[in-house]
């Protein structure tokens, strides 16, 4: 579990996050949703400790990140998997070498065990390790690249998984496959997973514990089942920005 308490973050006097408090649970998909520029990425990077916050607390279980030294934060990061926007794989490394990278950095197991673990992670994201291991990122599709990035993010058995817009650039069907994959892994290994997204399909598919950020303020929280009945103006403007969701609302409520 991760708990954020009264978090404030500004850049050069410009307040980007204001008094954010939230609880992110283990074994389920926690989502941070909101329009582009609302502060999702800054919030995620603050929680990971990549940005120093102005005020507030960030708890990983009973450990307070805000009290940690740089060295302690680095140690914590060995328990953290990250999947950032445009999931940068290393172009000059094969698929297998990409997945093995965090193991080479942090794991003290033998080479053979690292290869086995990497192959296991590739299989877990439904890639045939015998077929893809020696390929380079440029030789596989965008959806497969995303899977490799997920395999790499789970290589060290993380307790925490952060995904910033994991669906960006994928077609809707592949996006759904990736969502389901992250959801399945989260439940199977009881990971505290936080996903940033502005993709309503994603929200309606896997959003178990959602916070909605508007202009740096938490404007709503709930689950995907609460969204249509939330009656929050800012949330409605976000959700019903798409004509499809407007039509769904009309068909459900007659309004
Ligand atoms: N490193 C930075 N320095 C200054 N301002 C930043 C920085 N990163 C983000 N911002 C600003 O913070 C706000 C929120 O950005 P961001 O968290 O990236 O939004 P989102 O991820 O929701 O699209 C934006 O106004 C952005 O310009
Ligand atoms: Mg962002």
How far is the centre of ligand 2, averaged over its atoms, from the C-alpha of 165 (Å)? 7
How far is the centre of ligand 2, averaged over its atoms, from the C-alpha of 108 (Å)? 34
Query: Can you give the pLDDT of all 255 residues of the chain as single tens digits?
Result: 999 999 999 999 999 999 999 999 999 999 999 999 999 999 999 999 999 999 999 999 999 999 999 999 999 999 999 998 765 899 999 999 999 999 999 999 999 999 999 999 999 999 999 999 999 999 999 999 999 999 999 999 999 999 999 988 888 888 999 999 999 999 999 999 999 999 999 999 999 999 999 999 999 999 999 988 888 889 988 888 777 777 877 787 776
**pLDDT for res 86:** 65
Q: The tokens of 9 are what? A: 């973050």
**pLDDT for res 109:** 95
Q: Is 32 in the pocket of ligand 1 (CB under 6 A)?
A: no
How far is the centre of ligand 2, averaged over its atoms, from the C-alpha of 40 (Å)? 5
Q: Is 216 in the pocket of ligand 1 (CB under 6 A)?
A: no
Q: What is the pLDDT of residues 22-62, one digit of tens each?
A: 999 999 999 999 999 999 999 999 999 999 999 999 999 99
Mutate which of 7, 13, 39, 85 for ligand 1? The one with the most ligand atoms within 8 Å of its CB, which is 39
Q: How far is CA 51 from CA 11, 44, 102, in A?
A: 10, 9, 22
Domain harbouring 13, CATH code: 3.40.50.300
Q: Whose CA is nearest to atom 20 of ligand 1?
A: 37
How far is the centre of ligand 2, averaged over its atoms, from the C-alpha of 179 (Å)? 17
Ligand 1 atom closest to 11 (CA)? 4
d(CA 82, CA 147): 13
Secondary structure in 3-state letters for 32-67? EECCCCCCHHHHHHHHHCCCCCCEEEEEECCEEHHH
Q: Whose CA is nearest to atom 19 of ligand 1?
A: 37
Which of 28, 150, 21, 16 minimizes the C-alpha distance to 83? Answer: 150
How far is the centre of ligand 2, averaged over its atoms, from the C-alpha of 118 (Å)? 29
Domain that holds residue 172: 2-253
How far is the centre of ligand 1, averaged over its atoms, from the C-alpha of 11 (Å)? 9
Q: Is 34 in the pocket of ligand 1 (CB under 6 A)?
A: yes
Angle at 10 between CA 165 and CA 216, to 5 degrees: 50
How far is the centre of ligand 2, averaged over its atoms, from the C-alpha of 183 (Å)? 20
Which one-letter DSSP state was computed for residue 224?
Answer: G
Q: Is 197 in the pocket of ligand 1 (CB under 6 A)?
A: no
**pLDDT for res 87:** 59
Scan for tokens 């069907």, then name that residue: 173
**pLDDT for res 203:** 93
Domain count, the chain: 1
d(CA 209, CA 224): 8
Q: Which residues surround ligand 2, an ion (CB under 5 A)?
A: 40-41
d(CA 78, CA 246): 43
């Amino acid at each position: 579990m991760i708990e954020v308490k009264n978090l404030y973050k500004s850049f050069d006097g410009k307040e980007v996050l204001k008094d954010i408090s939230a609880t992110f649970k283990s074994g389920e998909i926690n989502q941070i949703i909101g329009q582009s520029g609302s502060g999702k990425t800054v919030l995620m990077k603050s929680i990971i400790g990549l940005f120093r916050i102005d005020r507030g607390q960030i708890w990983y279980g009973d450990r307070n990140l805000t009290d940690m030294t740089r060295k302690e934060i680095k140690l914590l990061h060995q328990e953290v998997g990250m999947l950032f926007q445009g999931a940068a794989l290393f172009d000059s490394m094969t698929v297998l070498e990409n997945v093995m990278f965090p193991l080479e950095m942090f794991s003290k197991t033998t080479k053979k065990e690292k290869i086995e673990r990497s192959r296991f992670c590739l299989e877990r994201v439904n890639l045939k390790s015998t077929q893809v291991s020696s390929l380079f990122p440029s030789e596989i599709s965008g959806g497969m690249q995303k899977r490799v990035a997920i395999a790499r993010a789970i290589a060290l058995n993380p307790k925490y998984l952060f995904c910033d817009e994991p669906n960006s650039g994928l077609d809707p069907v592949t996006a759904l496959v990736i969502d389901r994959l992250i959801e399945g892994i989260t439940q199977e290994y009881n990971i505290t997973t936080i996903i940033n997204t502005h993709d309503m399909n994603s929200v309606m598919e896997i959003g178990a514990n959602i916070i909605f950020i508007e202009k740096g303020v938490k404007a709503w929280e709930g689950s995907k089942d609460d969204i249509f009945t939330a009656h929050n103006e800012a949330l409605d403007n976000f959700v019903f920005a798409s004509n499809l969701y407007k039509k769904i609302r009309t068909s459900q409520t007659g309004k």
